[in-house]
């Protein structure tokens, strides 16, 4: 496994797609699974990234990531032909793909990347797919074309109305839940606050909602417990029990607090400010209805 | 505490004087003379100094100290020390060679039975094994005055690594057979070395980015320098063993695929006890509550102690509570001291006598200012408005009747609850077996705790698949893992040599 970067594409200002030579991972990987990578074996940090796609013929996997911290920043600086120092996977339990009927797939920002293979799997299993993609603005919207090929219906939302509806993803999600027959299932992947409010949106309608969590991890194999989350009454490890859980049972507030464990130490870069604003906006919106 | 600290220079010069006195007749000393030789203390970094660095605490004997300490061995007839050693090292043989100053011979004797003397000399619980039954300690009615076998083992291994020069063991001609070793901890390394020596092709698979298992991620630099572990791995590479890191068997490749698709003739599973146990009490998922695995992995493998260079962050702590009384708890507490915590507390529900940690680690922790709270335990964790831990509710215990482990059972004293302010908690109450490999390997029989079931030859329920170390034993020690590895290697060799 050389972990060589075969292709690199900038999807939006801070979002990159890379295709990486990793034949064994490409062969074993199923939708919903992730890798742990590090860009430096001596002092690097190990971070989880969901596998966006894989090509077992070429022996490659596709990763889509947003530059949010040191490691992703460094990863974005690698070029075609460079190798990723460490790449471990596929990790986590794959998505449980089954035919349930009508599945609403909600993707926020970078969350559309892990959502795509799940939507594809669900479609292949015979489900009708409604996709809701959300982003702050049109420029930050990713994989719209790919999702439009999978989904029977595609709804775009942007915070500033630069594309599609000027709304949060929870709005069309609620409308779908209000319609009869209700969707049979929802899959929501995106920032924790979005997954939290998607889960809150579907809860009163009893629409089962699966979320995919992206927590702090070190080893990714169940050894450190850094990724633990409270699900119902139980503690679960995202790396081996997840990454997908019943959104109605996840303690998102605890999860978000844990994600911020090292925040005091990390430089408050521009992204963090924007994230804070986004959280505020969503909160305001939901509490206002 | 540091007032009692003997300096390296004082210990070395005392030993020089003593050796000059006994050297001419060192091989002919009477038992009475040997018993009269004072036990040699281990030179260590000054506690105030070492609290601020991650360098090894125990500095190792000087040659003179080693020879004087070795001269204390009576070469008694029944050699209880050998029975106390899980791998049956010829202890009097190597110790007497040290006394005579023949370090090469001492090293050869050690290497016959142990692959990792530099590691075991440092981390073995000698006081409950070889040194527990030492005739010298018994005669002096103080087990702490037993011959310091572990320190001598370390001395010889360090000599070999330095002046002696490590010899890469000879490897027999290729048998054409290949073995996959899953996990690169102590058990896996022994299996790899033993089977490679027999001429089999060996590939080690390691999930982390660096091989060495618990010796890399768990045991801190100040107790086991990583350079020593790296040297041992280098020796294996020199023998032609292949190491594939970033490869998690069960996920990257299923165990059976290693045999069926990749053509390995046998597999050894030495994946260790890698599933941290938690207390299952309220507030355990608050920010600032860590498993010892996470805390130590960040500090050791990810080198978070190097705050300037490491990308991996580690929690900034002022007041740390470590729950547990084993070596891992001591390691976590002493790591917290080095990371700059103002106060570090060990909370243990039994008494110091029942602590599973090595006596030396407990002593070192105390010297470094770690505060011990015995007969106490956490009942729940209390968080602030932001979900960060700010206190523990503790409860006091007293010792009752002995339990299954033979230790007196701690019994909660009703109504003795109290609040203890902390900003960081490290849970170090043990590990269970990591189920990742078992889950993806149908037909691999495990017991109810998830440990792989093996027969007397370390063979599992699947033909050609063997297992050993903590994945079989539950959380144990480096030396027991090595012992199992040795047994497994012999069985695998026999299996591959059949017909």
Nearest CA in chain A to B206: A88
What is the pLDDT, as a whole number, of residue A40?
A: 87
State whether residue A264 sits within 8 Å of chain B by CB.
Answer: yes
Residues of chain A with C-beta less than 8 angstroms from the C-beta of B293 = 223-225
**Cβ contact B248–A91 (<8 Å):** yes
Q: Decide if A207 contacts A186 (C-beta within 8 A).
A: yes
Identify the burial level of A163 via C-beta atoms within 10 angstroms of its C-beta, where 0-12 means exposed, 13-18 middle and 19 or more buried: middle
For an interface test with A, give the residue of B182, B203, B205, B209 to mutate (most A CBs within 10 A): B209
- A284 pLDDT more than 80: no
Query: What is the pLDDT averaged over residues B268-282?
Result: 92
Q: Which has the closest alpha carbon to A150: A213, A104, A212, A109?
A: A104
Query: What is the pLDDT averaged over residues B433-448?
Result: 90
What is the pLDDT, as a whole number, of residue A264?
A: 65
What is the pLDDT, as a whole number, of residue A265?
A: 62
- Read off the pTM: 0.91
pLDDT tens digits along B54-99: 999 999 999 999 999 999 999 999 999 999 998 899 999 999 999 9
**Cβ contact B252–A235 (<8 Å):** no
Residue A158's contacts (CB-CB under 8 Å, 6 or more residues apart) are: A134, A135, A136, A137, A138, A141, A164, A165, A166
Query: Residue B288: which region, alpha, beta or left (left: phi > 0; alpha: psi -120 to 50)?
Result: left
pLDDT tens digits along B94-129: 999 999 999 999 999 998 888 889 999 999 889 889
State whether residue A259 sits within 8 Å of chain B by CB.
Answer: no
- Secondary structure (H, E, C), chain B: CHHHCCCHHHHHHHHHHHHHHHHHHCCCCCHHHHHHCCCCCCCECCHHHHCCCCCCCECCCCHHHHHHHHCCCCCCCCCHHHHHCCCCCCHHHHHHHHHHCCHHHHHHHHHHHCCCHHHHHHHCCHHHCCCCCCHHHHHCCCHHHCCCHHHHHHHHHHHHHHHHCCCCCCCCCCCCCEEEEECCCHHHHHHHHHHHHCCCEEEEECCCCCCCCHHHHCCCCCCCCHHHHHHHHHHHHHCCCEEECCCCECCCECHHHHHHCCCCCEEEECCCCCEECCCCCCCCCCECEEEHHHHHHHHCCCCCCCCCCCCCCCCCCCEEEEECCCHHHHHHHHHHHHCCCCEEEEEECCCHHHCCCCHHHHHHHHHCCCEEEECEEEEEEEECCCCEEEEEEEEEEEEEEECCCCCEEEEECCCCCEEEECCEEEECCCEECCCHHHHCCCCCCECCCCCECCCCCCECCCCCEEECCHHHHCCCCHHHHHHHHHHHHHHHHHHHHCC
* Residue B187 half-sphere exposure toward CB, CA atoms < 13 A: 30
State whether residue A44 sits within 8 Å of chain B by CB.
Answer: yes
Q: Cα–Cα distance between B396 and B380 in angstroms, integer?
A: 13
What is the pLDDT, as a whole number, of residue B308?
A: 82
Residues of chain B with C-beta less than 8 angstroms from the C-beta of A219 = 207-208, 217, 274, 297
What is the pLDDT, as a whole number, of residue B1?
A: 41
**Cβ contact B311–A71 (<8 Å):** yes
Q: Cα–Cα distance between A273 and A270 in angstroms, integer?
A: 5
- Residue labelled with tokens 């691999």: B444
Q: Decide if A130 contacts A151 (C-beta within 8 A).
A: yes
CB atoms within 10 A of CB A178: 10
What is the pLDDT, as a whole number, of residue A266?
A: 63
For an interface test with B, give the residue of A3, A27, A37, A224 to mutate (most B CBs within 10 A): A224
Nearest CA in chain A to B272: A223
What is the pLDDT, as a whole number, of residue A37?
A: 95
Residues of chain A with C-beta less than 8 angstroms from the C-beta of B275 = 222-223
How close, in Å, is residue B209 to chain A by CA atoms?
6
Six token digits for residue B364: 């070192």
How close, in Å, is residue B314 to chain A by CA atoms?
7
Nearest CA in chain A to B437: A221
pLDDT tens digits along A87-112: 999 999 999 999 999 999 999 999 99
How close, in Å, is residue A91 to chain B by CA atoms?
6
**Cβ contact B251–A43 (<8 Å):** no
Q: Cα–Cα distance between A183 and A70 in angstroms, integer?
A: 40
- A177 pLDDT more than 80: yes
Tally C-beta pairs within 8 A across A and B: 122
Q: Cα–Cα distance between B374 and B354 in angstroms, integer?
A: 10
Six token digits for residue B50: 């070492």
pLDDT tens digits along B288-330: 999 999 999 999 999 888 888 888 889 989 999 999 999 999 9
Confidence of residue A275 (pLDDT cuts 50, 70, 90): very low
How close, in Å, is residue A235 to chain B by CA atoms?
8
For an interface test with A, give the residue of B251, B380, B470 to mutate (most A CBs within 10 A): B251
**Cβ contact A43–B274 (<8 Å):** no
For an interface test with A, give the residue of B285, B301, B307, B315 to mutate (most A CBs within 10 A): B285
Report the share of chain B in percent with pLDDT over 90. Answer: 80
How does the average pLDDT of chain B come out, rounded? 93
Residues of chain A with C-beta less than 8 angstroms from the C-beta of B387 = 253-254, 257-258
Residues of chain B with C-beta less than 8 angstroms from the C-beta of A44 = 311-312
**Cβ contact B293–A258 (<8 Å):** no
Nearest CA in chain A to B247: A88
What is the separation of C-alpha A98 from the centre of its chain, rounded to a whole number of angstroms? 20
Six token digits for residue B59: 């500095």
Q: Which has the closest alpha carbon to B153: B191, B121, B195?
A: B121
Report the share of chain B in percent with pLDDT over 70. Answer: 99
**Cβ contact A224–B291 (<8 Å):** yes
Confidence of residue A28 (pLDDT cuts 50, 70, 90): very high
Q: Cα–Cα distance between B433 and A152 in angstroms, integer?
A: 45
**Cβ contact A228–B285 (<8 Å):** yes
How close, in Å, is residue A260 to chain B by CA atoms?
8
Q: Cα–Cα distance between B461 and A279 in angstroms, integer?
A: 53
**Cβ contact B274–A264 (<8 Å):** no
Confidence of residue B45 (pLDDT cuts 50, 70, 90): very high
Q: Cα–Cα distance between B357 and B338 in angstroms, integer?
A: 19
**Cβ contact A85–B209 (<8 Å):** yes
- Secondary structure (H, E, C), chain A: CCCEEEEEEEEECCEEEEEEECHHHHHHCCCCCEEEEECCCCCCCCEEEEEEEEECCCCEEEEEEECCCHHHHHHHCCCCCCECCEEEEEECCCCCCCCCCEEEEEEEHHHHHHHHHHHHHHHHCCCEEEEEEEECCHHHCCCHHHHHHHCCEEEEEECCCCCCEECCCHHHHHHHHHCCCCCCEEEEECCHHHHHHHHHHHHHHCCCEEEECCCCCCCCCCCCCCCEEEECCEEEEHHHHCCEEECCCECHHHHHHHHCCCCCCCCCCHHHHHHHHHHHHHHHHHHCC
**Cβ contact B278–A235 (<8 Å):** yes
Residue B212's contacts (CB-CB under 8 Å, 6 or more residues apart) are: B184, B185, B226, B229, B230, B232, B233
State whether residue A222 sits within 8 Å of chain B by CB.
Answer: yes
Query: Residue B283: which region, alpha, beta or left (left: phi > 0; alpha: psi -120 to 50)?
Result: left
- A288 pLDDT more than 50: no
Query: What is the pLDDT averaged over residues B470-492?
Result: 90
- B164 pLDDT more than 80: no
Residues of chain B with C-beta less than 8 angstroms from the C-beta of A73 = none
For an interface test with B, give the residue of A21, A221, A232 to mutate (most B CBs within 10 A): A221
**Cβ contact B287–A265 (<8 Å):** no
Q: Cα–Cα distance between A185 and A97 in angstroms, integer?
A: 12
How close, in Å, is residue B211 to chain A by CA atoms?
12
What is the pLDDT, as a whole number, of residue B475?
A: 76
Facing B291 at nearest CB: one of A44, A225, A261: A225
What is the DSSP pairing of strand B371-374 with strand B376-383?
A: unpaired
CA dihedral (B123, B126, B128, B131) in degrees, to 10, reads 180
State whether residue A218 sits within 8 Å of chain B by CB.
Answer: yes
Question: How open is the CA angle B133-B134-B138, to the nearest 5 degrees?
Answer: 85
What is the pLDDT, as a whole number, of residue B498?
A: 84
What is the DSSP pairing of strand A185-189 with strand A102-108?
A: parallel
Per-residue b or e along A115-131, where b marks 16 or more CB atoms closer than 10 Å to that residue's CB = bbbbbbbbbeeebbbbb
For an interface test with B, give the residue of A91, A93, A94, A219 to mutate (most B CBs within 10 A): A219
């Amino acid at each position: 496994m050389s972990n060589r970067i075969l292709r690199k594409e900038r999807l939006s200002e801070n979002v990159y797609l890379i295709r990486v030579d990793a034949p064994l991972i490409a062969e074993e990987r199923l939708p919903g699974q992730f890798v742990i990578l590090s860009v430096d074996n001596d002092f690097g940090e190990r971070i989880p990234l969901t596998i966006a796609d894989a090509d077992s013929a070429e022996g490659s996997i596709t990763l889509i990531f947003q530059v949010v911290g040191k490691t992703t920043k460094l990863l974005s600086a690698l070029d075609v032909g460079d190798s990723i120092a460490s790449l471990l996977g596929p990790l986590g339990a794959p998505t449980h793909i089954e035919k349930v009927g009508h599945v609403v797939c909600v993707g926020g920002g970078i969350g559309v990347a892990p959502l795509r293979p799940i939507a594809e799997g669900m479609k292949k299993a015979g489900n009708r797919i409604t996709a809701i993609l959300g982003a702050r603005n049109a420029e930050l919207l990713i994989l719209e074309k790919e999702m439009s090929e999978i989904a029977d219906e595609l709804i775009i939302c942007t915070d500033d109305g630069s594309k599609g509806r000027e709304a949060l993803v929870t709005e069309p999600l609620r409308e779908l839940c209000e319609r009869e027959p209700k969707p049979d299932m929802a899959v929501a992947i995106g920032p924790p606050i979005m997954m939290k409010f998607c889960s809150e949106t579907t809860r009163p309608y009893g629409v089962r909602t699966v979320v995919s969590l992206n927590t702090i991890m070190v080893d990714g194999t169940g050894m450190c417990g850094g990724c633990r989350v409270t699900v119902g009454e139980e503690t679960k490890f995202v790396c081996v029990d997840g990454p997908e859980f019943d959104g109605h049972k996840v303690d998102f507030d605890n999860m978000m607090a844990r994600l911020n464990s090292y925040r005091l130490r990390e430089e408050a870069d521009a992204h963090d400010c924007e994230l804070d604003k986004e959280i505020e906006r969503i909160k305001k919106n939901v509490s206002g209805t | 505490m540091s007032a009692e600290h003997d300096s390296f220079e004082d210990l070395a010069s005392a030993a020089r004087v003593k050796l000059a006195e006994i050297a001419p007749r060192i091989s002919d000393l009477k038992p009475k003379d040997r018993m009269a030789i004072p036990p040699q203390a281990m030179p260590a970094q000054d506690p105030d100094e070492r609290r601020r660095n991650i360098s090894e605490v125990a500095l190792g004997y000087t040659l003179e100290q080693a020879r004087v300490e070795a001269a204390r061995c009576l070469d008694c007839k029944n050699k209880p020390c050998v029975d106390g050693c899980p791998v049956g090292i010829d202890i009097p043989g190597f110790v007497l060679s040290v006394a005579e100053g023949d370090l090469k011979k001492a090293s050869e004797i050690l290497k016959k039975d142990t692959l990792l003397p530099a590691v075991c000399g440092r981390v073995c619980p000698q006081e409950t094994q070889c040194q527990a039954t030492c005739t010298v300690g018994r005669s002096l009615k103080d087990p702490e005055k037993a011959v310091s076998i572990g320190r001598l083992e370390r001395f010889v291994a360090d000599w070999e690594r330095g002046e002696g020069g490590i010899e890469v063991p000879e490897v027999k001609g290729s048998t054409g057979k290949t073995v996959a070793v899953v996990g690169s901890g102590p058990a896996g390394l022994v299996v790899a070395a033993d089977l490679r020596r027999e001429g089999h092709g060996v590939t080690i698979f390691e999930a982390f980015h660096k091989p060495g298992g618990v010796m890399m991620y768990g045991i801190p630099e100040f107790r086991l320098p990583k350079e020593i572990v790296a040297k041992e791995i280098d020796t294996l590479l020199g023998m032609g063993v292949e190491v594939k890191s970033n490869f998690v068997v069960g996920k990257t490749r299923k165990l059976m695929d290693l045999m069926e698709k990749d053509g390995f003739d046998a597999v050894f599973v030495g994946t260790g006890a890698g599933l941290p146990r938690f207390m299952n009490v309220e507030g355990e998922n608050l920010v600032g509550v860590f498993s010892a695995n996470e805390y130590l992995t960040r500090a050791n493998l990810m080198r978070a102690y190097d705050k300037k260079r490491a990308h991996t962050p580690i929690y900034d702590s002022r007041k740390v509570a470590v729950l547990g009384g084993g070596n891992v708890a001591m390691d976590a507490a002493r790591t917290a001291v080095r990371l700059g915590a103002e106060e570090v507390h060990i909370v243990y529900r039994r008494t110091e006598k029942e602590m599973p940690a090595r006596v030396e680690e407990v002593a070192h922790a105390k010297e470094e200012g770690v505060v011990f709270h015995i007969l106490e335990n956490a009942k729940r964790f209390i968080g602030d408005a932001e979900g960060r831990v700010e206190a523990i509710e503790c409860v006091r215990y007293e010792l009752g009747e002995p339990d299954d482990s033979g230790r007196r059972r701690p019994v909660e004293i009703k109504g003795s609850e109290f609040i203890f302010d902390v900003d960081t908690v490290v849970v170090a109450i043990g590990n269970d077996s990591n189920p990742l490999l078992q889950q993806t390997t149908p037909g691999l029989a495990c017991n109810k705790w998830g440990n792989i079931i093996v027969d007397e030859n370390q063979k599992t329920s699947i033909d050609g698949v063997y297992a050993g170390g903590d994945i079989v034993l539950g959380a144990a020690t480096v030396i027991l893992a090595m012992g199992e590895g040795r047994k497994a290697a012999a069985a695998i060799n026999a299996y591959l040599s059949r017909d």
